[in-house]
Structure 1
């Protein structure tokens, strides 16, 4: 198993946990939690694979990934019901998932002969569209569309830096690690410092 696969599996587990936590805040049962966890973990990667022509899409026949989604949902079901802690946990797991899926989405796209610019776009889609789908299913305003939120923006920043590092000859695994750290750090910092994009 290479680093990109490890990042993908960790990202799936983290995003599945984020989705399950979101389902918990809406008082869903275990099946509803699995649906939201699945959508969060797989939504972005599925859309990416459909756009770049990967068949079958990434999760088909992958029992390990499915097991990670189920495991994350079961673990979340044992959490207590502190809503403030839930929201804080969702934010941090979501930030980590954003970083991991951005890096993985870019690398998978490049490996499928997508050029650098569109690979960054695919990285952003991989990282954000699962959460978008989960928010829609939960009838929430998606983080992707909230006023001023640095959400997809942080993925794009991390993705561009990753591409630049590749062209500078930085070792791939180090570049992936830096990309993840940049996305997570900027996401957390922007939320704490209330850094926002200007309104249209």
Structure 2
């Protein structure tokens, strides 16, 4: 299994956990949890593939990805009584998923012939739109749109570094790892230091 597959599957599992935990905070039943887990895990990648013209989209016929989402849902269900401070857990799982899907989204876009600039945009879409859809389903203002610590900006900065390293001849495995670590680090640092973008 290649690094890209590992990162993509890890992101799928992490975002599915995030979606299931979000359903838990809204006191949803197991079906509601399944819907949010699937939407969070697949939403961004599905939109990316539609924009890229990839057929079928990434999760169709992928039994491993399906198994990971179901495993994430079951894990949250079984350990829900031992998971305290849901908001804190959601933040960290979401930050990790943000980094993983930024890196994989950019790499997949480049493999499909997209220019570096638009590959970065596709990376941001891959990593943020699943959470956006989940927030809408929960009747919340999406984290992507509300004022808060750097979110899509962290993805954007990680994508720029990914492309810069690639342009300078750094191998893709290193790029993927650096991108993930950088996005997660920026997201956590922004939360702790309360870093915000200026208001419009």
Range of TM-score over shorter length: over 0.9
**Alignment correspondent of 1:52:** 52
Task: Return the alpha-carbon distance in structure 1 between the equivalents of residues 196 and 12 of structure 2.
Answer: 28
Task: Return the alpha-carbon distance in structure 2 between the equivalents of residues 57 and 39 of structure 1.
Answer: 14
TM-score, normalization by structure 1? 0.97
Q: How is 1:181-192 mapped onto 2 (pairs within 5 angstroms)?
A: 181-192=181-192
Q: How is 1:5-84 mapped onto 2 (pairs within 5 angstroms)?
A: 5-81=5-81
Task: Please give the secondary structure, in 2, of the residue aligned with 1:12.
Answer: helix
RMSD: 1.1
Task: Return the alpha-carbon distance in structure 2 between the equivalents of residues 142 and 148 of structure 1.
Answer: 11
Give the drift of 1:83.
8.1
**Alignment correspondent of 2:165:** 165
Task: Return the alpha-carbon distance in structure 2 between the equivalents of residues 6 and 186 of structure 1.
Answer: 22
Task: Please give the secondary structure, in 1, of the residue aligned with 2:15.
Answer: helix
Contact 1:25 1:83 survives alignment (8 Å): no
TM-score, normalization by structure 2? 0.97
Contact 2:106 2:159 survives alignment (8 Å): yes
Give the drift of 1:82.
7.6
Contact 1:143 1:149 survives alignment (8 Å): no
Give the drift of 1:171.
1.4
Which deviations, in whole Å up to 9, do the C-alpha atoms of 1:78-113 show, x marking residues without a partner? 234588611000000000000000000000000000
Contact 2:105 2:122 survives alignment (8 Å): yes
Contact 1:166 1:175 survives alignment (8 Å): yes
Q: Unpaired segments of 5 or more residues in structure 1?
A: none
Task: Return the alpha-carbon distance in structure 1 between the equivalents of residues 52 and 85 of structure 2.
Answer: 38
Contact 2:149 2:187 survives alignment (8 Å): no
Which deviations, in whole Å up to 9, do the C-alpha atoms of 1:154-177 show, x marking residues without a partner? 000000000000011111101110
Report how many aligned residue pairs link the two structures.
200
Contact 2:154 2:187 survives alignment (8 Å): yes
Q: Unpaired segments of 5 or more residues in structure 2?
A: none
Task: Return the alpha-carbon distance in structure 1 between the equivalents of residues 144 and 104 of structure 2.
Answer: 19
Task: Return the alpha-carbon distance in structure 1 between the equivalents of residues 3 and 83 of structure 2.
Answer: 34
Give the drift of 1:141.
1.3
Task: Return the alpha-carbon distance in structure 1 between the equivalents of residues 45 and 107 of structure 2.
Answer: 12
